[in-house]
């Protein structure tokens, strides 16, 4: 009963080949080869040590320049230096060992190489001091259909055509960028050719007929897709696998789109001509998931005409996860007209595995949010969940998701400090100060982001992502440069909304309604971390809290969300002057920032973690799952770039309930119909988690996967802090 996810009930039998591949994958996940700081086994590349040819790197030889062209040269050199390896039983191949950030400064610190880095740093410091962190990349979504339809030769031809045009026109900035892109494309082709060559050699050497056949198959596939568009389902999956590896070598994680839409034609063709079976397709996709660390693929949603987009590939994509039950990050995009059998299957997978895969997302809401932002209907329907709680239009949208952030607690505490002096007459007076302070944070954020934006395309380009996007090649501008793609809102994570809502609710009641305390007393108490004031702290802690379906705090939550949206959207970015959009999420900053966060009037002590996204502060949601959902759905989510609720329940929650599948289906459906955006659902046995912290060596914990925040990781590979944060979450989930 309680063994969900440690021992899920299989629907498909694993072949010996898949068992071998899964064992290797688990080994790599737990032996540190995929370890990524505190975040667990989150890394796509295998850590075999530092890049051995730093001396020969173009930027070493030429002298380092902040230049997308040189970035492309370095990337090409890195790709060409990766020795191919084909492991036992594999048919989907490819492994990478470094990312560009290990070779040259890029990513969120790329600006440090800019000539005006000192100036940028000063602006960054100002923004951070006021609660803004203005830099990010990742979680956009390239358009996989481009490489699947054109192949690398097709893309290369477009780059060369554009290069010629801008050369003729004398635009040196664009020609330099396009030469960089040409390097990137050639590097990718070379990497695949290396695999083809190795496979040919192994095929020649192999004694065993079936091994010979396996290597010959890999060789033929790589020969073809190094240049041309894939022709078969197998080639298409291998193309996607390579493309994601290349994209990940840029150093970030992205969403990889609606797999069911871009693979369905290959799948149907294979089924029709008899070259493919559903079982074979399932195994190929499963192989890819294991090698790729299951990047964010999505299924379902609607087509352009509004009809349900679910097809056979939607099934195969989920079945592949069901087959292996390993690390994954899939999303199923619900809407009222989704194939009910398919949605049942998605809930069944969740119920049996219990590890928050797939994530359930309200597609109509994302679609309306994109329309609301001004994206035309002919693009808006393409919207896809792109990881964590984000979404975007594949290949056409770059929003700087991921780590950009506004910590709302800081402007709130500044407002309190000012109020302690000014003693505003009523709550609205305090709230006006808060909005002023929020604007101050936003101004500093905007200035720093703009300074980074001015050098972003050259200092931290995302050139492989640009290769399979709509615009960068023709415009000669990187996807993250100004107007490299059509839609470039700035996406800002908002940290601490539940804390601000609960703090304001308590202040509203105790200071302005019951007049038990003055605003100065509240400010002083927080400043001193409630020292000698436990009775007062208890009073604030025990005011009604967001997350319990109570009207008072929920109304405050909506008020805070709405002013957040209005304030954030009134600022524009430097990338084509598009508005900023708030996203109701925090990656891990609610834990990471806790050390520097003072006490808050919601009764929180200094140093305690803040609330995660729109999830209530841990421990305050006491009335169960439905009130939690009602609270979260009380805000109009179309105004935000995503926001998920984390539902962590223990297996005993289901005792006496008729069946898990229907409960998950009906609960999520009702939540979505109320206006909810996304559910990440775990079914976790608390005792098992605690035991896993103390006994990570037990074999049954090797595959214990949890959704830490927006991503999954093997539990035993997380740092102790993150493990304990997760256990606290499950422990406090009052879901009876």
- Report in angstroms how near the CB of residue 563 gets to another protein at its nearest: 23
Identify the three-state secondary structure at position 64. Answer: coil
> In which residue are the tokens 């098992």 written?
688
Quick check: 354 and 8 in contact, CB under 8 A? yes
Integer angstrom CA distances of residue 642 from 133, 362, 363, 391, 587:
18, 10, 11, 7, 13
- Report in angstroms how near the CB of residue 535 gets to another protein at its nearest: 5
Phi–psi pair at 574, nearest 5 degrees: -90, -10
Quick check: 29 and 289 in contact, CB under 8 A? no
Token pair recorded at residue 398: 């770059």
- Report in angstroms how near the CB of residue 322 gets to another protein at its nearest: 25
462 beta partners: none
Q: Which sign, positive or negative, has the C-alpha torsion 327, 250, 154, 483?
A: positive
Closer of 197 and 536 to another protein (Cβ) = 536
Closer of 542 and 562 to another protein (Cβ) = 542
Residues 6+ apart with CB under 8 A from 505: 543, 544, 545, 546, 552, 553, 556, 602
| Cα distance between residue 3 and residue 584, in whole Å | 33
Residues 6+ apart with CB under 8 A from 119: 451
Residues 6+ apart with CB under 8 A from 632: 547, 614, 615, 643, 645, 671, 676
Closer of 521 and 592 to another protein (Cβ) = 521
- Report in angstroms how near the CB of residue 329 gets to another protein at its nearest: 27
> In which residue are the tokens 């990781």 written?
713
- Report in angstroms how near the CB of residue 379 gets to another protein at its nearest: 30
- Report in angstroms how near the CB of residue 337 gets to another protein at its nearest: 15
Q: What is the largest CA-CA distance in the chain?
A: 88
Closest residue by Cα to residue 186 from 162, 163, 153: 153
Closer of 15 and 674 to another protein (Cβ) = 674
Integer angstrom CA distances of residue 152 from 107, 222, 223, 225:
25, 12, 12, 8
> By the criterion CB under 8 A, which residues form the site for another protein?
534-536, 538-539, 541-542, 549, 551, 623-627, 629-630, 655-657, 666-667, 669-671, 673-674
What count of other Cβ atoms lies within 10 Å of the Cβ of residue 705? 26
Closer of 154 and 544 to another protein (Cβ) = 544
* 3-state DSSP helix/strand/coil % of the chain, to nearest 5: 55, 10, 35
- Report in angstroms how near the CB of residue 608 gets to another protein at its nearest: 17
| Cα distance between residue 400 and residue 507, in whole Å | 35
Closer of 515 and 720 to another protein (Cβ) = 515
Integer angstrom CA distances of residue 160 from 186, 470, 518, 713:
12, 16, 69, 41
What count of other Cβ atoms lies within 10 Å of the Cβ of residue 166? 19
- Report in angstroms how near the CB of residue 578 gets to another protein at its nearest: 34
Token pair recorded at residue 103: 């070779």
- Report in angstroms how near the CB of residue 599 gets to another protein at its nearest: 16
How would you class 594 by CB atoms within 10 Å of its CB: exposed for 0-12, middle for 13-18, buried for 19 or more? middle
| Cα distance between residue 503 and residue 544, in whole Å | 10
Closer of 230 and 627 to another protein (Cβ) = 627
- Report in angstroms how near the CB of residue 673 gets to another protein at its nearest: 4
Cα atoms in the 13 Å half-sphere on the side-chain side of 717: 28
Closer of 119 and 534 to another protein (Cβ) = 534
- Report in angstroms how near the CB of residue 300 gets to another protein at its nearest: 18
- Report in angstroms how near the CB of residue 334 gets to another protein at its nearest: 12
- Report in angstroms how near the CB of residue 627 gets to another protein at its nearest: 5
First-to-final CA distance of the chain? 16
Phi–psi pair at 298, nearest 5 degrees: -130, 155
Closer of 387 and 627 to another protein (Cβ) = 627
Closer of 282 and 545 to another protein (Cβ) = 545
Q: What is the DSSP letter of 55?
A: G
604 beta partners: 600
| Cα distance between residue 430 and residue 676, in whole Å | 30
- Report in angstroms how near the CB of residue 477 gets to another protein at its nearest: 45
Closer of 504 and 667 to another protein (Cβ) = 667
Closer of 326 and 502 to another protein (Cβ) = 502
Closer of 170 and 656 to another protein (Cβ) = 656
Closer of 219 and 625 to another protein (Cβ) = 625
- Report in angstroms how near the CB of residue 664 gets to another protein at its nearest: 12
- Report in angstroms how near the CB of residue 362 gets to another protein at its nearest: 12
Closer of 60 and 734 to another protein (Cβ) = 734
Phi–psi pair at 6, nearest 5 degrees: -80, -30
Closer of 422 and 673 to another protein (Cβ) = 673
Geometric angle at alpha carbon 708, from 628 and 318, rounded to 5°: 90
Beta-strand ranges (E) seen in 393-449 are 405-407
């Amino acid at each position: 009963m309680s063994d969900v996810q440690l021992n899920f009930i299989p629907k498909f039998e694993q072949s010996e080949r898949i068992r071998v591949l899964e064992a290797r994958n688990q080994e790599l996940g737990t032996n540190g080869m995929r370890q990524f700081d505190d975040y667990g086994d989150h890394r796509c590349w295998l850590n075999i040590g530092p890049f051995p040819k730093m001396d020969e790197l173009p930027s070493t030889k030429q002298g380092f320049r902040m230049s997308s062209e040189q970035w492309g040269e370095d990337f090409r050199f890195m790709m060409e230096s990766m020795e191919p390896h084909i492991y036992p039983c594999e048919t989907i191949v490819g492994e990478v060992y470094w990312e560009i950030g290990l070779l040259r400064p890029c990513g969120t610190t790329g600006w440090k190489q800019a000539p005006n880095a000192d100036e940028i740093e000063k602006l960054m410091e100002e923004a951070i001091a006021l609660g803004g962190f203005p830099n990010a990349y990742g979680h956009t979504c390239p358009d996989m259909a481009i490489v699947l339809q054109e192949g690398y030769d097709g893309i290369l031809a477009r780059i060369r055509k554009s290069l010629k045009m801008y050369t003729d026109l004398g635009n040196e900035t664009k020609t330099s960028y396009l030469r960089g892109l040409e390097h990137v494309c050639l590097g990718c082709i070379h990497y695949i050719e290396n695999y083809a060559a190795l496979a040919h050699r192994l095929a020649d050497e192999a004694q065993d007929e079936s091994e010979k056949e396996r290597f010959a198959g890999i060789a033929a596939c790589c020969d073809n897709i190094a240049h041309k568009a894939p022709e078969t389902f197998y080639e298409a999956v291998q193309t996607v696998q390579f493309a994601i590896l290349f994209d990940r070598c840029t150093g970030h994680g992205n969403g990889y789109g609606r797999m069911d839409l871009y693979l369905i034609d290959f799948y149907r063709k294979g089924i029709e001509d008899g070259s493919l079976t559903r079982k074979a397709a399932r195994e190929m996709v499963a192989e890819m998931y294991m090698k790729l660390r299951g990047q964010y693929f999505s299924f379902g949603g609607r087509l352009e005409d509004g009809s349900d987009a679910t097809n056979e590939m939607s099934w195969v994509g989920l079945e592949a996860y069901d087959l292996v039950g390993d690390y994954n990050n899939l999303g199923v995009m619900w809407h009222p007209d989704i194939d009910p059998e398919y949605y049942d299957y998605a809930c069944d997978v969740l119920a049996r595995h219990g590890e928050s895969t797939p994530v359930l997302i309200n597609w109509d809401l994302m679609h309306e949010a994109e329309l609301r932002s001004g994206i035309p209907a002919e693009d808006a329907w393409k919207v896809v969940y792109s990881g964590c709680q984000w979404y975007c239009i594949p290949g056409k949208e770059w929003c700087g998701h991921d780590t950009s952030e506004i910590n709302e607690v800081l402007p709130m505490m500044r407002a309190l400090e000012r109020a302690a002096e000014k003693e505003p007459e009523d709550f609205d007076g305090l709230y006006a100060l808060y909005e002023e302070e929020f604007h101050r944070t936003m101004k500093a954020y905007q200035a720093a982001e703009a300074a980074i934006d001015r050098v972003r395309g050259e200092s931290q380009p995302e050139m492989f992502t640009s290769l399979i996007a709509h615009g960068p090649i023709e415009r000669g501008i990187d996807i993250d440069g100004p107007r490299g793609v059509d839609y470039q809102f700035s996406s800002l994570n908002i940290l601490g909304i539940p804390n601000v809502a609960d703090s304001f609710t308590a202040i509203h009641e105790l200071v302005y309604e019951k007049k038990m305390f003055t605003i100065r007393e509240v400010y002083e108490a927080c400043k001193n971390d409630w020292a000698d004031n436990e009775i007062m702290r208890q009073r604030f802690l025990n005011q009604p809290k967001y997350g319990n379906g109570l009207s008072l705090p929920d109304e405050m939550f909506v008020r805070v969300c709405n002013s957040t949206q209005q304030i954030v959207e009134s600022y524009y970015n430097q990338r084509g002057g598009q508005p900023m959009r708030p996203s109701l999420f925090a990656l891990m900053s609610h834990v990471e920032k806790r050390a520097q966060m003072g006490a808050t009037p919601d009764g929180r002590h200094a140093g305690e973690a803040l609330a995660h996204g729109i999830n209530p502060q841990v421990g305050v949601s006491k009335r169960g799952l439905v009130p939690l959902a009602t609270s979260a759905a009380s805000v109009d989510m179309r105004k935000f770039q995503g926001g998920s609720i984390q539902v962590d329940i223990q297996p005993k929650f289901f005792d006496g309930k008729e069946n898990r599948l229907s409960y998950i289906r009906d609960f999520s459906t009702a939540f979505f119909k109320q206006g909810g955006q996304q559910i990440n659902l775990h079914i976790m046995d608390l005792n098992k988690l605690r035991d896993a912290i103390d006994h990570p060596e037990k074999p049954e914990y090797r595959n214990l996967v949890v959704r830490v925040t927006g991503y999954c990781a093997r539990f035993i590979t997380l740092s102790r802090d993150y493990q304990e944060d997760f256990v606290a979450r499950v422990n406090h989930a009052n879901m009876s």
